[in-house]
Amino acid sequence: MTFPILTTTLLAPILAALIIVFLPKENDKLCKSVAAVGTGIALALSLYVYFGYDQSVGGLQWVDFGQPVPWIKDLGVTWYMAVDGLSLPMLLLTNLIGFTAVFASWNVTHRAKELMILLLVLIAGVMGTFIAQDLFIFLLFYEIVVIPIYIMVVIWGSSKRVTKEYAGMKLTIYLLMGSAFLLAGVIALFVNSVNITGIADMSFEGLAQVAFPEQLQIYLFALLLIGFGSLLSMWPFHSWSPDGYAGAPTAVSMIHAGILKKIGGYGLIRLAIVVLPLGARFWAPYMAVLGVIGVAYAAMGALAQKDLKYVVGYSSVSHMGYVLLGLASLGIIGINGAVAAMFAHGVMAALFFSMIGFIYERTHTRWIPDMGGLAHYTPKLAVGFMMAGMASLGLPGLITFIPEFTIFVETFKVFGLLAVIGIAGIIITALYVLRAAANTLFGPARPEFSHIKDLKGPEMVPLIVLGTVLVVGGILPSLLFDMIDSGVAPLLAHINDVLQIGGR
Amino acid sequence: MVEFALNHAWLVPLLPALAFVIIVFLTQRWKRLSSLVSITAMLGSFVIASIIAYGVFTNHEFIEKSLVYSLKWFGMEGFNINVGVMLDPTSSMMLFMVSLVASLIQIYSTGYMKGDPQYSLFFAYLSLFGASMLGLIISSNLLQLFVMWELVGLCSYLLIGFYTFKVSAREAAKKAFMTTRIGDFGMLLGILFLQIKFGTLDLVELAAAIPMFEQFGVSLGLLTLIALLFFMGPVAKSGQFPLHVWLPDAMEGPTPVSALIHAATMVVAGVYLIGRTLFLYVQVPGAMEVVAAIGAFTALFAAAIAITQREIKRILAYSTVSQLGYMMLALGVGSLSASMFHLWTHAFFKALMFLAAGSVLHALHNKADVWDMGGLIKKMPITGWTFVVGGLAIAGIPPFAGFWSKDEILVVTMEYAKHGHALGYVLFGMAAFTAFLTAFYMWRMIFLTFFGKEKAENHPHESPWSMTAPLIVLAVMASIGGLIGTPWANIWGEWINFGEVHHAEPALGLMLLSVILALAGIGLAYTLYCKDGEKKTARKLAENYQSLYQLSYNKFYIDEVYAWFTQKIVDGTARVTYYFDIYFVDGIVNGIAAVTRGSGKGLRYLQTGSMQTYALVFFLAILVITVVLAFGSPSLASIMGGVK
Amino acid sequence: MGTGLNPSYFIGLSAALFAIGMYGALSKRNIISVLISIELMLCAVNINLVAFNKFLTPDAFLGQIFAIFIITVAAAEVGLGLALIIAISRRRETNNLDDLNWLRW
Amino acid sequence: MNIDFSLITTEIALAILGLAIFTLGLIIPRSARKGLGNIALLGLIIVLGIAVYSWPNQGETLGGMYIVDHFSSFFKIVGLVAAILVVFGFRRYVAANVGNYLEYYSTIVFATLGMIVMISAGDFITLYLGLELMTISFIVLVAFRSFDVKSLEAGIKYLLLAGMSSAVLLYGLSLVYGATGTILFAEVAQSIIDGSGGLLLIIGLVMLIAGLGFKVSAAPFHMWSPDVYEGAPTSVTAFLATGSKAASFAILIRVFVGSLTGIQEHWVMLVAVLAALSMLIGNLIAIPQTNIKRMLAYSSVAQAGYIMVGIVAASQSGVKGVMFYSFIYVFATMGAFTVVAAVYNKIKSDEIADYAGLAQRAPLAATVLLVCMLSMAGIPLLAGFVGKFYLFMAIVDGYMWLVLLGLIMSMVSVYYYLRVVLVMFRDDPVDPTPLKMETSVTITLLIALGVTVFLGIYPGPLSEIANTAAQSFFTP
């Protein structure tokens, strides 16, 4: 019976939300502060857990209450909150972005109270998916986030190429459709596991031990792949992503691009690949192809954009292509790289969206041709923008490079030429990022922007926090990689065993 | 003390890095202080680098084996990366040279950048560049080296675009980054290949592993491919044809930047890298020939462009490209020694000329066209005479530095040819002709700028000592810096070589040839641009050979081709992709949604509101079901797959 | 039983009756006639029940009892129906089903 | 034969309650009739207490015509809970829009009585009696607002269609009787196993499905429900959508899974198709609706489709799923309709457009409506998700197509639920004065909210109970 620190981390935002419910509507500064405190506590706790995790031992640690608490007996569901090297980076990422997202929406005054409540619920929901080691609990958190996001988009979103109503509805329904397939797959998975073993156990560990027949695995993996893939904005299930981000308010874009997408990748590893290795082996080539198409296609799409948010929206699709590619390699290096890439992209995308949000607040436009020379009036903002951009094009010394390189190492070995196409994506990426940066920040100063102010006070938080992570993670990749490796290595060992025995 | 320096070589890049951090976070407000911090750090590095150089060049063991120490950066099963320090004569020479030039140029900048609003930022960037460049030099691991490689690229990007309000600067910066990116793509593939095939990126281990590449299941063809892919990086970084286009535009940056990054240090990183990985290239003669050919061609090509350019810095830029071509050529023919020697001398005289040019521009308020200048030497003697020294050096007049290194290159090329490479003679010819052209266009520029009669509208004045002092120091280096590599006492070749045979007796014939070529070039330049004030002949030539002149003046239209490719092909594809996305992929999505909504709207009208319709549906349903169940149930079940 | 009757006659009869009722319910526009048609359908049911009882379980009166229940309940239903019809014709001056389509779509 | 009254205490108590309200209402002065609501509430709670207390009693009485097992007790409790919520949550609505407390409340009680009789039915006659008692009471209730033509139209439509459907049902029953020679479910099952069957039985089967499908408003027998739901007083709509539906499902299971198992291969696929049809039609037509009651009506058609999935399984897990789902469905629906009624009280409109800015005028109401609708859509952390999980679990091998259809359709349903959410949350209200909800309403809403969320997060206990109940259904 240990102290349930993870559950506490999970409850911190919820608690803050409850407090805010009883705060006066008018005093939005107070609401924001409470939200900041709540997320701050969660962040502190997750940092404590992250650095308190014993990598030499590995496996699941910080198990709440010491062992799984029986939850739904007949489904074999247990309240099993624990973390390993795979969950921890995601947990940390969630709280990093959650914390900064509060500050990124610091200037929102319109119905700020509701915004903060929804935001906190959202953060808690996402957190739950990463610390739950039980499939059912995972599912509980998996979809809950969708609805707050919808409400946030339609209230605080912005209408440009598409109306925010359209964007919100598309985002929501698209992801729910994906999750329908996922759910079907999960139900079938569970029922079959019961039929095979005779005991109902929904913990990921338990399911991983079940020996599903190969045909079944292939068929289930397809369902899961559609489900998680659409959340990962896997081509061709990506088209929700740019519109969604464009319509969404800053905080939502940050969290969605930063963390939510990662749930797809996380689920693919935790559930699809680990539980259904044979299916994974069957589908891996197709995943790789889709990943590469996603990389090149989305990069090209981003190149054609004039709206900053669309640029980043497409670029995140393209980056997820790398993640998919890494996962498809089914090798330890590739999957380590993929997980690290998810973390890195999360930080980068969050910073990018927060900076774009600030620009939009100031200039009331995201249309690149209407901008230019912003660096003269807002140097700090420009710094943040450039850091995010450079991270996005995988500049060494920032957190995104090593993960991408690691992915390349494995996928180049496994897929050869296919991977080369993916690697070529870095050129296009550089092109659209540099263009966006150049046309937004540099060039002659425009008088109409002379009034706008640089970042100051709370607005600096996203830049400082995320920027620090970008640099530190770039200089000391081992902080991230040792952790991930300690989590992925045992899973991969298990998979390889299965592939040896079950394979042909 | 020497021991300490050798074992803490990582301090060399660390000091400027610290300077960068300090300036950015603390001293940005106080300009003087910032520059002070930056210069002190760089001088510190210089001191340590000198000690290291001393330690290395006084200990003969370093010729055989280099000093390496490293620690784990990150790693996982089957993929471990250590970062560390690798000290040998080559790297310590580079350390010394870079830190020296960097210090001088920073001092120079205090004068040149005076009054610039982003003064502190400039020095921050310079420090960052210094850090990454020095880091690149001492890297013991290809990945570490690649990281630094990209960082210097970043600094170059930032510094080219330093005048952010200038659109041209912005575009030039972008161009530089993109061009080098293309090279880096190839280089990345090469690195990946090495990692995958040889399981390591550590230079020492690779050097041990590659000679027996068959054991790693690597065919000679594959190794050649790897070498060529890897070569793309240097091609872009060191402005070799066809990726040279960014370097001339890079002159949009402040002149000290051009001197430091785009003449003395960063652009030679490519050469240095090939030198570092020569153990790979010597295995694959095919790749070596490509390197040599590209080098020679670039040298000639750039020189051919330089003869018609008008802007002082552009001319210098193309000469840089051309000189880099020399270095590549030397590497291609397998002489690390010659190439590094030229790198060393070139660093001094080219930096010198850039700084002098900067001093000129400073005096003429950035009027760049050489045709608008003249007779400046009277008004600004130090600048002028130092520039002349540089000119002599690059033209290859003994005993100035350039002569010895260029001669060395010619010699090794000739030897390469003699050792049964027919290609070698062609290369030699190109190199020799380039030497002539170099002398010609350099002195064309010098005559046009400093001699002849003054232009009335110019009111030049000598620059402050902070700018002239570095000029003098560099001038000294440019004059005597080559003496350590004379054929009579080739200290250089003895220390810095890749086990290549270096000629015992001096090849006097070649020396003579190169001197004649140089003098011929200078003489031609004199007759065309100095003797007759109106320069009629020059203009007449230009008119008679209009097409050739235009071709050369427009840099053989390479930029136009690239621009066309990017705008038409790349952007076109992008637009197509985008429309495909929103109209087809997304169209399907929206289509499904529309169908759903529409069917809802349609079905709704079944609900007519008349109770008897409902009853009718009710009974009809019963009828249908009865019929189906009574006569078709099993088949139906089989269709729906209802097996339990 | 000596008579040559067999269940199929009764089934046929009740089926016919049910069909007639059904037709009436579907075609008549007057609420009352629809109500009556429904009664016809119920009668068909009763015939069935009684007939089956006769042939299947002559000693236990399941069918009859069931039929009696049905008749009773039907009476209640009709009563309620008439009450509603009166109320309707008060409010909407009609007892024609086609006019009752305010609630639709 | 001796009657074991201990088994039917609930029914007796309920009957007494109904009569008591009626007579009491006649003797006390009109002005005092307001109190009847409280009496009904109190009585119903007591009856619920009795029902819960008599959970352990199991057995058959009246010679098998009346079955009391955990299965029936479970559904009785569900029905009673629905009745209680209706009586409690809609008091002000009834007072303001329905009036005539005496008949209203007694009829509610009698409808409940009909339900629980039907739930426990062991033979055709009891089934029919319970069904008709329920139906006739509901006809009265639907047409209760005799001053409102819509209510009357709904009433007459319900009367006629229900009449036809029960005629069909009865015809079916008679045919089954004819085919098997008995009216006791148990004996029917036995005789089918012994080999009686044939066309007669098949046609009877179809008619049974039609008759009962009408009651649960399963497509294509659903067409009455939108009109009636829209026209009826909201309280009645709520009761119709929860109690009557749950009870009808109970008897549907009793008849098909219980006694017609022998000819499964004939009806399982049929039910599956009907379920699919209900999901499709219900969800699709709900999309363009503008009246919230009508929208909820169509969505309840879809819900019927989901619940029928459990019958398709025709297994213990399926039955368990049905029970679990109908329990949570009661709370979700009640919550939604309570909000509708409460809002109608204030703004006299059921149009979705008029819900603009509800989130700011009445946050609790808006939240409850949101949560309840999402629970019906099966969004996790809400009970509906667990319910759907249980239901689809039962059929996932063999009926993957139905599972996928069901899940996709429930995501479609999110589409039209979110349109309401959009109006409630995004728009700013025309007049921002807060809507003051009565305590009774607030409490009902909180109950609905609490149960929906709690069972969504911690469904363990309920599923245990449902499991035992389902067990008792198969092994009496």
**Per-residue pLDDT tens digits for A138-186:** 988 888 888 889 999 998 988 888 888 888 998 888 889 999 999 999 9
Q: Are residues B635 and B575 in the same domain?
A: no
Burial of A353 (0-12, 13-18, 19+ CB in 10 A): buried
C24 touches chain D (CB under 8 A): no
Q: Are residues B559 and B537 in the same domain?
A: no
- Contact check, Cβ <8 Å, D181/C44: no
Nearest to D168 by CA among B614, B626, C22, B613: C22
| Residues of chain D positioned with their CB less than 8 A from the CB of B636 | 269
- Contact check, Cβ <8 Å, B608/C104: yes
**In Å, how far is A98's CA from the nearest CA of chain B?**
26
Question: For residue B640, what pLDDT band results from cuts at 50, 70 and 90?
Answer: very low
D421 touches chain A (CB under 8 A): yes
**In Å, how far is A126's CA from the nearest CA of chain D?**
13
Q: Are B110 and B39 in contact (CB under 8 A)?
A: yes
Average pLDDT score, chain A: 89
User: Given a cut of 50, is residue A504 above it in pLDDT?
Assistant: no
Query: What is the model's pLDDT at position D167?
Result: 94
Task: Name beta bridge partners: B70.
Answer: B84
- Contact check, Cβ <8 Å, D171/C44: yes
Q: Report the residue from A74, A154, A190 with minimal CB separation from D426.
A: A154
pLDDT tens digits for B263-292?
888 888 888 998 888 888 888 888 888 888
Q: Are residues B581 and B618 in the same domain?
A: no
Longest dimension (CA), chain A: 73
| Residues of chain D positioned with their CB less than 8 A from the CB of A74 | 463-464, 467
Query: What is the model's pLDDT at position B634?
Result: 54
Which of B139, B141, B147 best tests the A interface by mutation, with the highest count of A CBs <10 A? Answer: B147
Cα D51-D56-D59 angle, rounded to 5 deg: 95
Q: Are residues B583 and B438 in the same domain?
A: no
User: Given a cut of 90, is residue A45 above it in pLDDT?
Assistant: yes
Name residues 267-296 of chain D within 8 A of C (Cβ).
none
User: Looking at residues A435-453, what average pLDDT do you find?
Assistant: 86
B115 touches chain D (CB under 8 A): no
- Contact check, Cβ <8 Å, D422/A140: no
- Per DSSP, B70 falls in state E
Average pLDDT score, chain D: 90
pLDDT tens digits for D172-194?
999 999 888 888 888 888 888 88
- Contact check, Cβ <8 Å, A184/D403: yes
φ/ψ of B121, rounded to 5, equals: -60, -40
pLDDT tens digits for B333-389?
888 888 888 888 888 888 888 888 888 888 777 777 777 777 777 778 888 888 888
Q: How many CB atoms lie within 10 A of CB B280?
A: 22
pLDDT tens digits for D201-260?
888 889 999 999 999 999 889 999 999 999 999 999 999 999 999 999 999 999 998 888
- Who contacts A380 (Cβ-Cβ below 8 Å, separation ≥6)? A454, A455, A460, A463
- Contact check, Cβ <8 Å, D425/A142: no
B638 touches chain D (CB under 8 A): no
Nearest to B147 by CA among B171, B131, B127: B131
User: Looking at residues D269-275, what average pLDDT do you find?
Assistant: 91
User: Given a cut of 80, is residue B116 above it in pLDDT?
Assistant: yes
Query: What is the model's pLDDT at position B424?
Result: 84
User: Given a cut of 80, is residue D476 above it in pLDDT?
Assistant: no
> Do chain D and chain A touch with ≥3 beta carbon pairs under 8 Å?
yes
Instruction: Please name the chains neighbouring B, where neighbouring means 3+ C-beta pairs under 8 angstroms.
Output: A, C, D
Instruction: Please name the chains neighbouring D, where neighbouring means 3+ C-beta pairs under 8 angstroms.
Output: A, B, C
Q: Complex ipTM above 0.85? A: yes
* Choice among A202-216, A227-241, A465-479, B406-420 with the minimum mean pLDDT: B406-420
Number of folded domains that form chain B: 4
CA distance A306 to A296: 18
User: Looking at residues B540-546, what average pLDDT do you find?
Assistant: 80
pLDDT tens digits for B56-101?
888 888 877 888 888 888 888 888 888 888 888 888 888 898 998 8
Nearest to C38 by CA among D474, D167, A347, A370: D167
CA distance A150 to B455: 71
User: Looking at residues D303-320, what average pLDDT do you find?
Assistant: 91
CB contacts < 8 A, B to D, total 98
User: Given a cut of 90, is residue B627 above it in pLDDT?
Assistant: no
How much of chain B, in percent, has pLDDT values that exceed 90? 13
Q: Are residues B82 and B174 in the same domain?
A: no
Nearest to D163 by CA among B183, C31, B210, B583: C31
Question: For residue D371, what pLDDT band results from cuts at 50, 70 and 90?
Answer: very high
- Domains delineated in chain C: 8-96 (1.10.287.3510)
Q: Are residues B638 and B520 in the same domain?
A: no
Question: For residue B469, what pLDDT band results from cuts at 50, 70 and 90?
Answer: confident
Q: Are residues B603 and B635 in the same domain?
A: no
Tokens representing C1 are: 């039983």
Query: Nearest residue of C to residue D289 by CA position?
Result: C105
pLDDT tens digits for A70-97?
888 888 899 999 998 899 999 999 999 9
- Contact check, Cβ <8 Å, B612/C105: no
Name residues 315-354 of chain D within 8 A of A (Cβ).
none
- Domain's final residue, options B140, B162, B190: B140
Question: For residue D428, what pLDDT band results from cuts at 50, 70 and 90?
Answer: confident
Q: Are residues B118 and B263 in the same domain?
A: no
Q: Report the residue from D392, D414, D459 with minimal CB separation from A72.
A: D459
| Residues of chain C positioned with their CB less than 8 A from the CB of B602 | none
- Contact check, Cβ <8 Å, C84/D159: yes
CB contacts < 8 A, A to B, total 131
- Contact check, Cβ <8 Å, A333/B77: yes
Q: Are residues B460 and B500 in the same domain?
A: yes
Which of C8, C17, C36, C45 best tests the D interface by mutation, with the highest count of D CBs <10 A? Answer: C45
Task: Decide which of B638 and D265 is more confident.
Answer: D265
How much of chain A, in percent, has pLDDT values that exceed 70? 99
Question: For residue B456, what pLDDT band results from cuts at 50, 70 and 90?
Answer: low
- Contact check, Cβ <8 Å, B629/D401: no
Q: Provide the residue range defining the domain that includes B638.
A: 611-644
- Contact check, Cβ <8 Å, D397/A191: yes
pLDDT tens digits for C22-49?
999 999 889 999 999 999 999 999 999 9
Q: Are residues B219 and B235 in the same domain?
A: yes
User: Looking at residues B627-642, what average pLDDT do you find?
Assistant: 58
Q: Is B79 helix (H, G, I), strand (E, B) or coil?
A: strand
Give long-range contacts, CB 8 A cutoff, 24+ apart: B53-58.
B53/B92, B53/B93, B53/B95, B53/B96, B54/B2, B55/B2, B55/B3, B55/B5, B55/B6, B55/B92, B56/B6, B56/B87, B56/B88, B56/B89, B56/B92, B57/B89, B57/B92, B57/B495
Residue tagged 């570490």 (tokens) = B144
CA distance A356 to A253: 10
Query: What is the model's pLDDT at position B244?
Result: 87
Name residues 182-201 of chain B within 8 A of A (Cβ).
182, 185, 188-189, 192-193, 195-196
CA distance A484 to A339: 7
User: Given a cut of 60, is residue A120 above it in pLDDT?
Assistant: yes
Helix (H) or strand (E) holding B480: helix B465-480
Q: Are residues B314 and B170 in the same domain?
A: yes
CA-only gyration radius of chain A, Å: 22
pLDDT tens digits for D117-153?
999 998 999 999 999 999 999 999 999 888 888 899 9
User: Given a cut of 70, is residue D22 above it in pLDDT?
Assistant: yes
Q: Are residues B431 and B515 in the same domain?
A: yes
- Contact check, Cβ <8 Å, B609/C103: yes
Nearest to A242 by CA among A303, A301, A169, A165: A301
